[in-house]
Amino acid sequence: MQRTNDGSPRRIVVISTGGTIASRWQGTGYAADASGDAVLATAPLPEGVTVEVRDLFNVNSSLLTAAHQLVLLRTVHETLADPGVDGIVVTHGTDTLEETAFLLDLHHEDPRPVVLTGAQRPFGTGDGDGPGNLYDALQVAATVRDLGVLVVFDGRVHAARGTVKTQTLAADAFSDPSAERLGRVGFSRVDIERLPDRPAVLPLPAAARTADPDAGRGALPRVDVVFHHTDGDRLHFDAALAAGARGIVLVATGAGNATPEIARAVADATARGVLVAVTTRVPAGPLAEIYTGGGAVDLVANGGLLTGTLRAGQARIAVLAALLAGTEGDDPARRTAVLRRLLEGPVRAAPALATGTSREAAPAPVPARA
């Protein structure tokens, strides 16, 4: 049974944002409309856990904006301002869960866990996976500490950084193609197998304090994603610049390669103070400066920053976070330095786990309840 040091139950707050886990049939398709209380009622509660629900918004996650994500970030920080809260579970749509989890993790320094989960099958279906995922997420939120923001799905525990949706429909929807899972949950146990790598945490950005999802786009920095392919030219890159992008993520080929024309576009962008991050369309592995002739050697020489093993969605979040970390008067060099740290500077989390440890420490598995 999960108990605090004084013997009282663990107090977990569930923040409901919609997604498939809250989606019901609308006549032509599914859309999020079930309340957080309704979603919670489908799942048994782990022993020794009490739950409070907060309905934040109720949308399919493909409709989320950066303003929604910043409102959630603010809500997480406000919730953790209560010392009586032991952890948070966020129910979220799977389409953009990886982006939201990473944004929360970049700004999360509290030892208490924030766990994101959702479902691949809609609310109320006989074979729905939402109740099991929610139960597992509550177990993890009541059990671990000092692991940052986590994704719990289909019995697996993943670090926010690097974890992406790798299956469109299958229950085992998430993984980090370049790293092992963080742990697993099941049979009333939470096993933590390794510690996550995380960059130094950013403070809550000023934009999070004023973000309003109803205000529409345009109030936040524009960050676009441009995909390179055979016959690719700089048309879309230039269109992003013309639209006012302050950051661009270039999805290159291989280990980070494009063309001399694209390399010149990167130089033009960075000369204007635009942040350029270079990722790849390849699912796994790091980027590397190997090739010239428009390859990563030239993209980096012209001011692009390689994203390591981060792929497009999370690379875009890193660029947005770097822009939000500054002010209008910041010089581009400072913003570039912040982005470089987010992309290249992870530090190993301190091994101060309350009920889970890493393989290096050779822990015994941790019971989630008695």
Residue 192 clears pLDDT 90, i.e. is over it: yes
- Has 50 been annotated as catalytic? no
Domains and CATH numbers, the chain: 10-200+348-367 (3.40.50.1170), 218-344 (3.40.50.40)
| Residues contacting residue 24 through CB under 8 Å, at least 6 positions apart | 30, 31, 33, 34, 122, 123, 124
Token pair 């809609």 is found at 122
Token pair 């279906």 is found at 125
Nearest alpha-carbon partner for 186 in 160, 152, 159, 163: 152
Question: What is the chain's mean pLDDT, rounded?
Answer: 91
- Has 94 been annotated as catalytic? yes
Mean pLDDT of 208-213: 91
Mean pLDDT of 286-311: 98
| Residues 203-226 as b or e (16 or more Cβ within 10 Å = b) | ebbebbeebebeeeeeebbbbbbb
The one catalytic residue among 65, 94, 100, 163: 94
pLDDT digit string, tens, across residues 35-89:
999 999 999 999 999 999 999 999 999 999 999 999 999 999 999 999 999 999 9
Q: With pLDDT > 70 as the criterion, what percentage of the chain qualifies?
A: 89
Q: 21: which DSSP letter?
A: G
The one catalytic residue among 20, 117, 259, 279: 20
